[in-house]
Amino acid sequence: MKAPPAVLTIAGSDSGGGAGIQADLKTFMAHGTYGLSAITAITAQNTQTVQSFCRVEPKMVAQQIHAVMEDIDVKAAKTGMLADAQVIDAVCDAWQAHGNVPLVVDPVMVATSGKRLLDKEALDTLRTRLLPLALVVTPNLREAETILDLAPNSIDSVEAMVRAAQEISTRFGAAYTVVKGGHLPGESVIDVVYERCTGHVDEIENKRVQTSNTHGTGCTLSAAIAANLGQKLQVVDAVRRGVRYVNECMQTGYKVGKGQGPVNHSYAMRTMEIVPTLHNPHPFTEYLKAQTNGLWEQYTGHSFVRQAAAGTLSKQAFIHYLKQDYAYLKHYARATALAAFKSDSLGRVAELVDAMQACVRESELHVKMCNHWGVSQREMEDEQESWNNVAYTRYIVDRGMSGDVLELLVAMYPCLLGYGEAALAASADSRSQQADNPFGPWIAAYAGDEFQAAVARGRRVIEDLVREDVLGGQRLRRLAKTFRDTVDLEIRFWDNALEHN
């Protein structure tokens, strides 16, 4: 069995279990990575306060790092509580001896409970030695102010967060700076990601979770980012997924102790990231989309749809698409019938029969539009399938024949879900609703109530099937690959139509 990526935490121990290396190791496991640790300090703390701590001797900290990295292929690492300047020096010396491994620096200075965890004298060492080694640094607002010698509460807006992120990366050399906005008031939380080499800024927005279970959120986020980097995600994607993980850990949290409790690190470990939450009632759908690594956005924002919305798509491209999609719908209807055959619930069979009849109604729309442009149904029937169409439909049938009903429906899902999302986005373009736009009726059909209701029914069937199943890692990866493959085939389907412009 192939070993998971190894990820190292260099941080303090939290006897309360919610932060420090305890939080990091839970997060690593939840992300499917193998957790390693080098302990820098030992704390006596709980959910209410840090009662005391003692540092580990710098030489011992360095020995832990050397011991791990000399033996194990570490793919990424993070730092947390580092206690004092001597420990920071020891970490930097040891780190520089072992080559170029992605490092996430969580500049821990103050615990959620309010206890100061970093010596003031260590701040300059952190600035001059540790931050230049960081691929990513993740300060909250108060930590960013301390690093930059700013007055307390002076970072009081998203614009100020962007300026702080830029200055931290520019002055101290971190490749990416993530300034966390949880301390700003508002219904949403915005985190800012600044990339030093390009000057590009990303803003990641999530609904604020109203909970007291926030102990260890900073440790958990930096650990999640490191785990994602260990899985070879790009930095901004690693941050986005890390933020999402922390947000959902907070949503599914439970009460521990009398103070600020920890987040629920294990929710994703138990359920492989598919538990419904307050802000994400369709977790499997969102998981599948996230696993496409940007293909989903490329698909639903495809130039074919954007040109149709603008009314600039060529007639030849659209007619070619309608003919090919007419042939595709026949195979899609057959695949739906196969899914009904594989189902053991009469209710689900009935839902899938309805979906098959919807394919017939959709094909009738294609015939009507082609007739409007002088293309007969006989011409549509006689159209030769493109190689892309053949590859796509046979892939779906193959998944249906070799897999179970869930895998077949996942293979068919991008067509249903993607058309619904793409049409809603296109219908927001006022040009799609102009009377002289010949493609307006096509967009309106998929943005309309009937098709959107079909999307909702299909999504419910898949989410229900997932909740009834037990998805191990290998099966989940296969389902994600199936979804990603058919998203790519959908993109190629529209690419092929544009070749006829």
Out of 33, 217, 292, 482, the active site residue is 217
Out of 92, 219, 249, 370, the active site residue is 219
Q: Any residues with CB less than 8 A from the CB of 222 and at least 6 apart, and which?
A: 24, 78, 80, 104, 105, 106, 136, 138, 242
> Which candidate, 140, 83, 75, 74, places its Cα nearest to that of 106?
140
Q: Is 473 labeled as catalytic in the residue annotation?
A: no
Residue 282 C-beta-side C-alpha neighbours within 13 Å: 14
Distance, in Å, from the CA atom of 46 to the CA atom of 16, rounded to the nearest integer, reads 4
Q: Is 214 labeled as catalytic in the residue annotation?
A: yes
Q: Is 230 labeled as catalytic in the residue annotation?
A: no
Q: What letters, b where the CB count within 10 A reaches 16 and e where it falls short, cover 205-226?
A: ebebbeeebbbbbbbbbbbbbb
Q: Is 180 labeled as catalytic in the residue annotation?
A: yes
- 194 and 235 in contact (C-beta within 8 Å)? no
Torsion of CA 436, 437, 441, 442, to 10 degrees: 160
Distance, in Å, from the CA atom of 322 to the CA atom of 191, rounded to the nearest integer, reads 43
Out of 17, 35, 216, 440, the active site residue is 216
Q: Is 440 labeled as catalytic in the residue annotation?
A: no
Out of 79, 214, 285, 393, the active site residue is 214
Extract long-range pairs of 189-194: CB within 8 Å, 24+ residues apart.
190/158, 190/161, 191/239, 191/243, 192/158, 192/161, 192/162, 192/165, 193/165, 193/235, 193/236, 193/239, 194/162, 194/165, 194/166, 194/168, 194/169
Pairing of strands 74-79, 50-55: unpaired
Look up residue 216 and give its two tokens.
């260890």
Look up residue 48 and give its two tokens.
């209410």
Distance, in Å, from the CA atom of 263 to the CA atom of 22, rounded to the nearest integer, reads 12
Q: Is 216 labeled as catalytic in the residue annotation?
A: yes
Out of 16, 20, 80, 218, the active site residue is 218
Out of 75, 180, 289, 342, the active site residue is 180
Which residues does the annotation mark as catalytic? 180, 214, 216-219
